[in-house]
Structure 1
Amino acid sequence: MEKTKKKMWVMISAALVIVLFVGAAAVKASQKKQEKGIVVKTAPIEKQDMESHILTSGEVLSMEKRDVLPDISGKIEKLLVKEGDRVEPGQALVKLATGDLDYQIREAEMKLAMDRDTLQQLKNEGDIELEIALSNAEIQYRDAQRAYENKKKLYEAGAVSKSELDAAKSLMDQNYNHYVLAQKNFDHGRKNSKISTQEKQVSLSELSVERLRKELAKYTVQSPIGGTVVSVNALEGGMASVNMPLMTIVNTDLLEIVTNISEYDIHKVKLGQGVKITGDAFEGKIYRGRVKYIDAMAVSNNTGQGKETVVRVKIEVIDKNTDMKPGFTANVDILTESKKGVLVVPYEAIFTKKNGEKVIFTVEKGKAKEHVIQTGIESDLAVEVIGKGFKENDRVIMNPTEKLKDGEAVKENKVMDNDKN
Structure 2
Amino acid sequence: TYVLQQANLEQLQTGPTDADIKAAKAAITGANAAYAAAQQQANAQPDQLVIAQSNLDKSAEALRIAQWAYDNMLTTWFLKDYAPNSPQAQALTNAQTDYNVAQADYNLKKSSINSSSVSAAYAQLTQAQANLAKLEAGPTGPQLKAARAQVEQARIALDIARANVAKATLTAPFAGVVSAVNVKAGEPANGALPAVVLVDTSVFHIDVTVDEVDVARIALGQLLTVTLDALPGETFSGKVDRVAPTATVNGGVVSYAVRLVLEPVDAPLRSGMSATADIVVAEAKGVVLVPNWAIRRDRDTGQVLVSLLKDGKLLEAPVTLGLRNESLSEVKSGVIAGDVVGISTLREALNLFGGG
Range class of TM-score, shorter chain: 0.3 to 0.5
Which structure: greater strand fraction? 1
Which structure: greater helix fraction? 2
- When the two structures are superposed, what TM-score results if normalisation uses the length of structure 1? 0.36
Higher relative contact order (CA 8 A, sep 6+): 1
